Structure 1
Amino acid sequence: MSMTPPPGWYRDPSYPLTERWWDGTAWTDHRRQPEVPQQPLAQPESPGTGGSGRAKAVALTVAAVVLVASIVTGAVLLGRDGGDGDAAAKTTPTGASPAPPETGTPSPSVSTSAPSTDDPSVVVDELNGITLPLLDGWARPQYVAEDDVVMTTPGTYDCPGDPGLCRHGRVISRTVTANDEKSPKALAEQDIEDAANNAYDRDLVDSRPYKGIKSHQLVRAGSVAVAGRAGYFVRWKVRTGVGPGGYVESLAFPSSVGSESLVIVRFAFDAGADGPPLSDLDKIIKGIRPLGDGDTGGGVGSSIGPSK
């Protein structure tokens, strides 16, 4: 009986010199250099104390490691098929993971750190290397079909257009892998239309919960410091066929982990009295921090001013 490995960083079966994120069901596009544990300094040998025996033991250990690596590599290669698609994405990390280490010995090839829910005031985005503040009136996503949602307003309401359930606010975080754009400004300007359409035009099943977007207005755009990195944001106000419309924003900035790919954070806030306060949008952006560094805030770019 085989068990699916938990989400975590594992040796990449297609390139064993790097680690790749396994989300519990499939390989993602996130990679990083493996963390190498510190080795204790070798103590000098005194004459006649058996140094040659220790050298033999080290040689045998190295040979064993090489043998295990060869077996793992062979298993991965044999597991690839000749069909379409990424062969590595079809391989689970069970064959590439080492045997559980002895007590007190760190594993050099897997880090199973996963998003923590211990701190109720933050949401951890492990893949993009950031944390986001979880403000009053917001909750971690539950029963949300859309990918990459990191927080929503609690509860739902009947959509004013096509039948379905809508939410007054949601925040989405994702790594940009579909293009080679390196400019946060260009990426945010390219993304805002898709962000608006996904939030207020058509949903995942092609329904129109707000009867589409009738028009949009540029509210604000500019540079902003995000987790100590220079980012850029574009904010629109959209008018929908039915309902109060809403505000959408695309925020782009470089990730602080891995290859430092650009990260897009999308915001969708219903307008009107039932929507979340627009000041929450600015507070969330100002509260984004690099993972493991709760004190890093601005420092690059310009800060966000009051919402209009």
Structure 2
Amino acid sequence: MTTPPGWYRDPSAPHTERWWDGTAWTEHRRYPEAPPTVPVPVGDGPTGRAKAVALTTAATVLVAAIVTGAVVLSGDDGDGDPGARTAPTPTAPASASSPSPESAPEPSEADPGVVVDELNGITLPLLDGWARPENVSDTDVVMTTPGTYDCPGDDGLCRHGTVSSRTVTANDEKSPEALAKGDISEAADLAYDRNRVEQRPFHGITSHRLVEQGPVAVAGRTGYFVRWRVRTEAGPGGYVQSMAFPSSVGSESLVMVRYVFDAGEDGPPLADMDRITEGIRPVGDADTGGGVGSSIGPSR
């Protein structure tokens, strides 16, 4: 039985909760909310209803303690992060409450103009000329231009534009500037040189140049972006941007957003990169400002 994504008791630190993405534990952690206080009846003694409430509360605490003990004992195998490979029990999550807007993302796909990145706690504006991903193997992709076309290089189908978002977990670097500068080369190579299945849809990159780079305010946090113009052996090439900024949920791990836009008349407007960046917001906080270039928001 597959455990759905959500906040569960952390096997390696039972006093905290950890985000389970549906397949594995992530680095997002938080302190659980305090349970509501059960009122104590006034009078000579508890009524029958008050006794029932007290017994129910005690039973719930006892079950939670048993489940927590079982998870901790089964999760620590003495090798690496205790519980890092242990999935939460589907029938007994440590926290019965849904994540609040302040501490974790909630789906809001009912809004046709917004794409929700649940794990990183952000929403991205779905501009005209963009669509939610369909038939896309890369799970990090959050939006694409509609339709596909025959790649000008190796056989395959290409898209004129993609936007992807992921949490940076395999890197100890905490500087958004260093991460963005280190990511841009890989982002360009995957998009226009050699993809993940070793195809060369554009017959490789012939040159690149720096278009722009600098600090950027994203969802009220200070980040950094780097934008390249890439030229390829086949086709018009394109623009690639790497942008890193702190997440507003969990342990505030850094988030990396990549933009890949084909150049030429068939590619999306380059201004869409800035428009999407300006429209990124924390889930549940539409009033938080964004910005590009010198428009720097508050940082932590």
Q: TM-score, normalising length from structure 2?
A: 0.85
Equivalence for 2:113:
121
Q: Which amino acid aligns with 1:182?
A: K
The Cα of 1:82 is off from its aligned counterpart by 5.5
Q: How does 1:55-70 map to 2 (within 5 A)?
A: 60=55, 63-70=58-65
1:292 maps to 2:289: no
Equivalence for 2:85:
89
1:197 maps to 2:189: yes
CA offset digits 1:20-67 (Å, max 9, x no partner): 222333333322222334436x46734xx2169999878755653443
Equivalence for 2:96:
107
Q: Which whole-Å CA distance do the structure 2 matches of 1:13 and 1:83 have between them?
A: 13
Q: Which whole-Å CA distance do the structure 1 matches of 2:216 and 2:75 have between them?
A: 45
Q: CA RMSD in A?
A: 3.0
Q: Which amino acid aligns with 2:90?
A: T
**Given that residues 97 and 110 in structure 1 are in contact (C-alpha distance below 8 angstroms), is that contact kept between their aligned partners in structure 2?**
no
The Cα of 1:180 is off from its aligned counterpart by 1.8
Q: Which whole-Å CA distance do the structure 1 matches of 2:84 and 2:284 have between them?
A: 30
Q: Which whole-Å CA distance do the structure 1 matches of 2:215 and 2:161 have between them?
A: 23
1:21 maps to 2:10: no
Q: Which amino acid aligns with 1:148?
A: D
Equivalence for 2:202:
210
CA offset digits 1:208-248 (Å, max 9, x no partner): 11111111100001111111111111000001111100000
Q: Which whole-Å CA distance do the structure 2 matches of 1:216 and 1:7 have between them?
A: 39
1:5 maps to 2:3: yes
Equivalence for 2:67:
72
**Given that residues 206 and 232 in structure 2 are in contact (C-alpha distance below 8 angstroms), is that contact kept between their aligned partners in structure 1?**
yes
Q: Which whole-Å CA distance do the structure 2 matches of 1:43 and 1:70 have between them?
A: 23
**Given that residues 26 and 92 in structure 1 are in contact (C-alpha distance below 8 angstroms), is that contact kept between their aligned partners in structure 2?**
no
**Given that residues 152 and 235 in structure 2 are in contact (C-alpha distance below 8 angstroms), is that contact kept between their aligned partners in structure 1?**
yes
1:45 maps to 2:42: yes
SS of equivalent to 2:15:
coil
**Given that residues 149 and 170 in structure 1 are in contact (C-alpha distance below 8 angstroms), is that contact kept between their aligned partners in structure 2?**
yes
1:154 maps to 2:146: yes
Give the fraction of aligned pairs with identical amino acids, expressed as a percent.
Answer: 71
Q: Which whole-Å CA distance do the structure 2 matches of 1:56 and 1:300 have between them?
A: 59
1:239 maps to 2:231: yes
**Given that residues 143 and 164 in structure 2 are in contact (C-alpha distance below 8 angstroms), is that contact kept between their aligned partners in structure 1?**
yes
CA offset digits 1:125-168 (Å, max 9, x no partner): 12111110000010111111113111011111111111111110
Q: Which whole-Å CA distance do the structure 1 matches of 2:259 and 2:52 have between them?
A: 58
Q: Which amino acid aligns with 2:295?
A: S
CA offset digits 1:91-134 (Å, max 9, x no partner): 24325426xxxxxxx93487796432100001111211111000
1:281 maps to 2:264: no
SS of equivalent to 2:179:
helix
Q: Which whole-Å CA distance do the structure 2 matches of 1:256 and 1:223 have between them?
A: 18
1:36 maps to 2:34: yes
Cα 1:37/1:302, change in 2 over 3 Å: farther
Cα 1:271/1:132, change in 2 over 3 Å: same
Q: Which amino acid aligns with 1:97?
A: P
Unaligned runs of 5+ in 1: 99-105
Equivalence for 1:261:
253
Equivalence for 2:241:
249
SS of equivalent to 2:131:
coil
The Cα of 1:181 is off from its aligned counterpart by 1.5
**Given that residues 80 and 88 in structure 1 are in contact (C-alpha distance below 8 angstroms), is that contact kept between their aligned partners in structure 2?**
yes
The Cα of 1:73 is off from its aligned counterpart by 3.2
**Given that residues 146 and 204 in structure 1 are in contact (C-alpha distance below 8 angstroms), is that contact kept between their aligned partners in structure 2?**
no
Q: Which amino acid aligns with 2:10?
A: D
Cα 1:130/1:63, change in 2 over 3 Å: same
Unaligned runs of 5+ in 2: none
Q: Which whole-Å CA distance do the structure 1 matches of 2:241 and 2:184 have between them?
A: 7
